Every structure is written in structure tokens, then in C-alpha cells.
Structure 1
Amino acid sequence: MKSIMVPQSFIHPLFYQEGDVVSSKSDLFYYDMMALLNEREERPWERGSETPFKVFQNEKEEMRDLFRQRKKEDVKELMKSSIGQFITFLFWMNHSPIPGFQNFSDHVASLKIKPFNVTERLFFIMQKPNQYVSYMQLDELFTEANKQAKVNAIIKRK
């Protein structure tokens, strides 16, 4: 696996800092960064991968339990990962790599398939990742996006 410095466009206080390195396919936005750098790697968005949705489904109950136990600091890393998975799912269901976080709201607004008010809801979640209301909102966004992805896939088959 090739290690790369996180591109400037992917620097965001929630996810990556200046000088961070990614080296694994399990790192958030790995494939998207590789595409930005024109590295030859898989392009999972071309097939509209559901993997990010499945990852969230696996982590969902653990996050709910941590919130119930009021362990906000413990849930922060899981929420960060889940928010990243949602962003990945949002772009990949539109068969597009994540372009990074510069002009992010414009990129989200240009997506054809997306939940209602996704930009505002997502920014709220990203600003307050360790609040229970953010977890609930993220769960709703995943549910809505998954339904839209399935409907779009059915329409494309016809």
C-alpha cells in the first residue's frame, strides 16, 4: 500500500490536519485522494458502492450505547468515521469521487442524488460530532440517502 501526504483540499479540522499521511484503504477518503493525485487505484464510486452505508450500520449500535452511557469523548472517533463514511456514500452514490473540502457546499449542492437540506444538516453534524442529536441526524441522513440510492438504481435499470 502506498503512503501519501493528505492533499491540501482534504485538510479539514474534523478529519485531517496539515502533514497527516494516509496509507491504507481503510483510511477515510483514501480512494478519493488517490484519484485526485492521479494514482492508479480502484474507483469504487464508478459502481456506486454501498460499503460506507454498511460500515455505518455496523458502528451504529456501538455509538448509540456510548451516547447512552454519556461517553461523548469515546464516541467522537466513531462519529468522525461515520461522518466520513456518509460523505463518501453521498458522493459515491452519485458515481463521483469526493473532490475535497474546498468549496465543499458547492460540490454537495451540485450532486443529483442527495437528502433534503443535506448541506445544512451535514455542517451541523460536522460542527458538533459528539452530540446525540448529531448522531440521530446522521442516522436519518444515511437512511434517506440509502433509499434515494436504491430508487435511483431501480430507475437506471429500466
Structure 2
Amino acid sequence: MTSRINLLIPCHFQPSLFFNNKEWITINKGEELLYEPFLYDIAYYHKISIDKPWENNRALVLKLYDRWTEDKEILKLFFNNRNRQGARPYMIKSLGFFIMFICWSNQQPVLSITDWTTQVSRLPIKPVNMIERLNHIFTSPDHYHSYLQLTQLYEELNKQYQKSFILKQKETPK
């Protein structure tokens, strides 16, 4: 059974890039919360009883990458048509999902968007020069070069995540 819950967006999740100065979000408890970035993380902050994808829920972590493969094709069409304005909301969502992907791949929830660099700089599984590359994307999400960078970041992180998963499987006694 699903129920709708209104949650106050914590101040450390409120840069206008992702929430456009909204104060509240609505989640559908009992459903998968991958329709907007950071819903699982905000629900966790409010101590709502939900799945915690960062705690060994490989299927949900991989859905972030699957979502990217779909959104990447939509973005490709926008950029091929030189429609930066149309690409912008998809790039912002994809950037948010990437932040989730990096944290969840390292078995952590997203703790802050306003200070994301502190959290991700400490993570062991991450692409090379990730912070510099993400800073560029944050400052100009509707540029084609940002799309290319985000594509590379997703690919690199997915490879590292898959590798770390395989290594953990080999280390785990049967």
C-alpha cells in the first residue's frame, strides 16, 4: 500500500539547481523513489522507514545507471538539435542522480548537496578528477561539454562499481 508523505527539504539539500527553492517534497511511501533525485536520502534524513539503497541494494544502485542510459539518449537529441534550454532539466536531474550513484556505490546516503564536495572527496570508489569535472557541470549544466563530462563520469563510475562488487564477491566466504 502506498501513502503520500510531505517532507520538508532540509537546508543542506536546497540549492536552487535541484529544488528551485521549493520547501517541500512529496514521496509515495511504498513505491520506488527514483522519479526525482535525493528522495531516498531526504526520507532517510527524516527517519522515514524506507529502503536504504546504499545498504547493499545493488538493484536500486544499478537502476541509477539504467536511468542514465535512457536520459543520455534524450539529452543527445536535445544537444544534436542545439536545444540547451530543453536539455537543462534533464542534465540537472542526471547530475543529481549521479551524486546519488557515487554515494550509494560507496554504501552511503547523500548527506548534503550544499557541501557535496566534502562527502564525495572521501569516497574510495570514484572517477579521477571527479570534483573538478562535477564543478564544471554544476556551473554550466546546459552545455554540451558538460553532457560529455557527465557521460564519461557515469561510465567510469559504473566500471569502478562493477569491479568493486566483483572483488567483494570474491572476498566473501561461501
- TM tier, smaller: over 0.9
User: Residue 141 of structure 1 corresponds to which residue in structure 2?
Assistant: 153
Aligned counterpart for 1:57 among listed residues 62, 69, 72: 69
Question: Is 1:99 aligned to 2:111, yes or no?
Answer: yes
Q: Deviations over 1:43-94 (max 9, x none)?
A: 1111241111110101111101110101110111110111011111000100
Distance (Å, rounded) in 2 between the aligned partners of 1:20 and 1:27: 15
User: Residue 125 of structure 1 corresponds to which residue in structure 2?
Assistant: 137
Deviates more, 1:121-130 or 1:13-22: 13-22
User: Residue 12 of structure 2 corresponds to which residue in structure 1?
Assistant: 9
**Secondary structure at the residue paired with 1:2?**
strand
The letter for the 2-side match of 1:53 is: Y
User: Residue 36 of structure 2 corresponds to which residue in structure 1?
Assistant: 27
Does structure 2 retain, via aligned residues, the 8 Å contact 1:8–1:18? no
Does structure 1 retain, via aligned residues, the 8 Å contact 2:54–2:108? yes
* Larger radius of gyration between Structure 1 and Structure 2: 2
The letter for the 2-side match of 1:40 is: S
Distance (Å, rounded) in 2 between the aligned partners of 1:123 and 1:147: 22
Does structure 2 retain, via aligned residues, the 8 Å contact 1:115–1:145? yes
Q: Which runs of 5+ in 2 are unaligned?
A: 28-32
Greater per-residue strand proportion: 2
**Secondary structure at the residue paired with 1:67?**
helix
Distance (Å, rounded) in 2 between the aligned partners of 1:19 and 1:58: 27
The letter for the 2-side match of 1:42 is: D
Does structure 1 retain, via aligned residues, the 8 Å contact 2:12–2:115? no
The TM-score with structure 2 as length reference comes to 0.87
User: Residue 47 of structure 2 corresponds to which residue in structure 1?
Assistant: 38
Alpha-carbon RMSD: 1.2
User: Residue 157 of structure 1 corresponds to which residue in structure 2?
Assistant: 169
Distance (Å, rounded) in 1 between the aligned partners of 2:95 and 2:151: 10
Distance (Å, rounded) in 2 between the aligned partners of 1:101 and 1:54: 22
Q: Once the 2 structures are TM-superposed, how far is the Cα of residue 105 of structure 1 from its aligned partner? A: 1.1
Distance (Å, rounded) in 2 between the aligned partners of 1:79 and 1:41: 27
Distance (Å, rounded) in 2 between the aligned partners of 1:77 and 1:54: 18
